[in-house]
Amino acid sequence: MSLPHPNLDQINLSNVLAALGDETRLAIVSQLARNNDVPMNCWQFLELSSRTNLSYHFAKLREAGITLTEVSGTSRLISLRRAELDRRFPGLLDAIVETAQQAPVPDDQAWRD
């Protein structure tokens, strides 16, 4: 039992950016990073959304090549593919994670009008 993950050269930049260009998924990645890349499981993210919806977002992150999902008994362990991503896109994840960590999500109020 193991889930499909893209390998390094199958990871494409705009996919990665699109995957991270969503508040929920960015929050997931941010928490994973804050957790020092120690794998986490689904229920630790329940505050972000419903189980079903998280499942969807986890799949997106996995398919984009951002996270690794390992099956462990009845639960799944999710971690960042940090080293690999850094090889593929040097500096990218670090820059994102760094920012996402300090900025607690600036309230996205309309800036025009």
Partner DNA sequence: TCCGTTGTTCAAAATATATTGAACTATTGA
Partner DNA sequence: TCAATAGTTCAATATATTTTGAACAACGGA
| Contact partner, 26, from a copy of itself, DNA, none, Cβ < 5-8 Å per class | a copy of itself
Segment interacting with a copy of itself (CB under 8 A) among 1-9, 40-48, 49-57, 68-76:
1-9
| Contact partner, 43, from DNA, a copy of itself, none, Cβ < 5-8 Å per class | DNA
Nearer to DNA, 55 or 101 (CB): 55
Residue 62's Cβ-count burial label (10 Å; 0-12, 13-18, 19+) is buried
Nearer to a copy of itself, 73 or 90 (CB): 90
Residue 78's Cβ-count burial label (10 Å; 0-12, 13-18, 19+) is buried
| Contact of 96 with 29, CB cutoff 8 Å | yes
| Contact of 58 with 66, CB cutoff 8 Å | no
What sign does the CA torsion over 31, 32, 36, 40 have? Answer: positive
Binding site for a copy of itself (CB under 8 A): 4, 6-7, 9-10, 12-23, 26, 88-92, 94-96, 98-100, 103, 105-106, 108, 111-112
Binding site for DNA (CB under 7 A): 1, 18, 22, 24, 41-43, 49-60, 69, 73-76
